[in-house]
Structure 1
Amino acid sequence: MPDLLDTYIENREPVQPTDANSYGTAHGGNVTKWMDEVGALSATRFAGESCVTASIARMDFERPIPVGETAVIRGYVYDAGETSVDVRLEAFREKPRTGEREKTTESYFVFVAVDEAGDPQPVPDLTTETERASMLQRKARDGRTD
């Protein structure tokens, strides 16, 4: 059975002018796309099957990510159903020279494991073998308000 920490994925996207809206900050659609990609990778690692997005809970854009900074996206599986996989996702703005970070966006995505024909597939149970894994799971469950 996969452990929560096995599903922890962090990725970086440099925010370029082509990623920006008219205010010179990352377009919300791009941030959502980057989060969806990391979430799908995390869910797939957990399920051992391809995973597709089933739903996105409330998407909270707390602050912008300016062009020239780095979008850091992190996600991990915190729960699972029969065929569904719940992933907590956060985005941060990071200054490339200092590594200083500030959270910008948070959401919870649900993915469904599917086979090559697109039919839902069962997923394993999630384990939390360390205190860090248990803490991340609690944090995700406590933060989900929908």
Structure 2
Amino acid sequence: MPTIAETHIVNRERVQPTHANNYQSAHGGIVMKWMDEIGAMSAMRAARESCVTAQMSRVDFERPIPIGDTALIDSYAYATGRTSVRVRIEVAREEPHTGETEETTSAYATFVAVDDGKPTPVPELTAESEECKRLRETALAEEPDR
């Protein structure tokens, strides 16, 4: 059985001018692409299968990520269904010289495990530590209505 800790992925993307909107900060669509990619990786670790995006809900853009800063994308799976994996994704801006971070964006996503293009069952996800139990409880309490 996969564990929540095994699904935790952190990735960094340096915000370049080609990622920017007219306001010299990361374009929302680019940020969502990064979130979708990292979220899918967490889902695949949970499902032990390839996964496709079924939905992304409550994407909250709280503040911009300026060009030159780093987007810090953090995701983990917190629950599974018969063929689905629910993932919490959070993004922060990171100042590259100091490492100082500030939350910018968050979302919940559901991915479906597929085998040969068809939905396939996923194993149960376990919370093996107190920290993982806390992450699961927080995600379940804050996720949008299902």
Q: Scaled by the length of structure 2, what TM-score is found?
A: 0.98
Alignment of 1:12-27 (within 5 A): 12-27=12-27
Q: Equivalent residue for 2:109?
A: 109
Q: Equivalent residue for 1:138?
A: 137
Residue 3 of structure 1, CA deviation:
0.7
Q: Which runs of 5+ in 2 are unaligned?
A: none
SS at match of 2:111: strand
Residue 145 of structure 1, CA deviation:
2.6
Fraction of identical pairs, as percent: 58
> Which aligned segments of 4 or more residues in structure 1 are displaced greater than 4 angstroms?
none
Give the distance between the partners of 1:89 and 1:124, measured in 2 at CA: 21
Residue 143 of structure 1, CA deviation:
1.4
Q: Equivalent residue for 2:11?
A: 11
Q: Scaled by the length of structure 1, what TM-score is found?
A: 0.98
Deviations 1:94-143 (A, max 9, x none): 00011100000010000000012x10000000100100100110111111
Q: Equivalent residue for 1:128?
A: 127
SS at match of 2:37: helix
SS at match of 1:124: coil
SS at match of 2:119: coil
Residue 58 of structure 1, CA deviation:
1.3
Give the distance between the partners of 2:142 and 2:93, measured in 1 at CA: 20
Q: Which amino acid aligns with 2:39?
A: G
Q: Equivalent residue for 1:66?
A: 66
Give the distance between the partners of 2:83 and 2:72, measured in 1 at CA: 28
Q: Which amino acid aligns with 2:4?
A: L
Q: Which amino acid aligns with 2:87?
A: V
Q: Which runs of 5+ in 1 are unaligned?
A: none
The size of the alignment, in residue pairs, is 145
